[in-house]
C-alpha cells in the first residue's frame, strides 16, 4: 500500500484527488494539508510515501516546503501536481528536490502511474514538462553571462527598475529589456525574480552585504 498525503490549498481539489485515488487498491490517502507549513508538519507526523504538492501554497510555497522535506524527511517523495508549468516553476521545484512534476490536466492513469513511480524513487515528468526540460538541456545557448548582463542582473537584484538601470548605464529602456530577455534564456527562467533567485543560488551574483 502506497501512503499519500495531498497538499493543496483548494478543498475542492483535495476532495477530487482523494476520491480519484480511492479507486486504486494500492493507493491510500492518509492526510491532507492546506498550506506549505501543514504539508511539512503532516509529512513529518504521518510519514507518507508520496506527497502530492501544489506549488502555489500559503505560508510556505511549494518549492520551500519541498526543500524542507528533502532536508528533514529524505525518505518522503514529493510529486508536484500544479497548474503552473513555466521553466522557472519547473526549475525551482526540481532544484528543491521534487521527485516528479505533473500538470493538473494530466490524465488520471498518468497520475496513478506517476505516484507509483515516485514511491519507488523514480523521477517522473509529464510529457509537456519533459519536453521543455529536454529542450533546455539541448539548447545551444551560452551559459555564461556577459559583463553587461551581470551588471544589469546585479542592478535588478538591488531592486532597480528597467528605467533606472537604463539611466545608470546610459542605455535605453528597450536595450535593458533586450539584455534581460537574453539573461532569462541563458538561465532558463521566465521573469526577473526567477533570474535573480537562480543567479544567487548558483553564485553568479551576490547581494551587497
How confident is the model at residue 83, as a pLDDT?
Answer: 87
Spell out, as residue ranges, where the chain has pLDDT lower than 70.
Answer: 85, 87, 130-143, 208-209
Return the DSSP state at 198: H
How confident is the model at residue 126, as a pLDDT?
Answer: 78
Predicted confidence (pLDDT) per residue in 98-134, tens digit = 998 998 888 999 999 999 999 998 888 877 776 666 5
Question: What's the rounded Cα separation, in Å, for the pair 43 and 41?
Answer: 6
Cβ-Cβ contacts under 8 Å for 175 (sequence gap 6 or more): 166
On whether residue 206 sits in a domain, the answer given is: no
On whether residue 192 sits in a domain, the answer given is: yes
Q: How far from the centroid of its chain's Cα atoms is residue 186's Cα?
A: 18
Burial classification of residue 60, based on how many CB atoms lie within 10 Å of its CB (0-12 exposed, 13-18 middle, 19 or more buried): middle
Domain CATH code at residue 62: 3.40.50.2300
Distances (CA, A) of 63 to 78, 118, 175: 10, 17, 32
On whether residue 207 sits in a domain, the answer given is: no
Predicted confidence (pLDDT) per residue in 29-50, tens digit = 999 999 999 999 999 999 999 9
Give 142's Cβ-side CA count (13 Å radius).
6
159-167 — which CB contacts under 8 Å span 24+ positions? none
Residues 104 and 168 in one domain: no
Cβ-Cβ contacts under 8 Å for 162 (sequence gap 6 or more): 173, 176, 177, 180
Residues 87 and 61 in one domain: yes
The boundaries of the domain holding residue 156 are: 147-201
CA dihedral 119, 67, 29, 105 (to 10 degrees): -80
Indicate whether this model's pTM tops 0.85.
no
Amino acid at each position: 500500500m502506497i501512503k499519500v498525503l495531498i497538499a493543496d490549498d483548494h478543498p475542492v481539489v483535495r476532495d477530487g484527488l482523494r476520491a480519484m485515488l480511492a479507486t486504486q487498491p494500492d493507493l491510500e490517502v492518509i492526510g491532507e494539508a492546506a498550506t506549505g507549513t501543514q504539508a511539512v508538519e503532516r509529512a513529518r507526523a504521518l510519514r507518507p510515501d508520496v506527497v502530492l504538492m501544489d506549488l502555489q501554497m500559503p505560508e510556505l510555497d511549494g518549492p520551500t516546503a519541498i526543500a524542507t522535506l528533502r532536508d528533514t524527511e529524505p525518505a518522503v517523495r514529493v510529486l508536484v501536481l500544479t497548474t503552473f508549468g513555466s521553466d522557472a516553476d519547473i526549475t525551482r521545484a526540481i532544484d528543491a528536490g521534487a521527485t516528479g512534476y505533473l500538470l493538473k490536466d494530466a490524465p488520471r492513469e498518468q497520475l496513478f502511474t506517476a505516484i507509483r513511480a515516485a514511491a519507488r524513487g523514480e523521477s517522473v515528468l509529464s510529457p509537456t514538462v519533459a519536453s521543455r526540460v529536454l529542450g533546455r538541456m539541448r539548447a545551444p545557448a551560452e551559459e555564461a553571462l556577459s559583463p553587461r548582463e551581470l551588471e544589469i542582473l546585479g542592478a535588478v537584484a538591488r531592486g532597480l527598475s528597467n528605467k533606472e538601470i537604463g539611466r545608470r548605464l546610459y542605455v535605453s529602456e528597450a536595450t535593458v529589456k533586450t539584455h534581460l530577455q537574453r539573461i532569462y534564456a541563458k538561465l532558463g527562467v521566465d521573469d526577473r525574480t526567477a533570474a535573480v533567485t537562480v543567479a544567487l543560488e548558483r553564485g553568479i551574483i551576490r547581494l551587497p552585504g
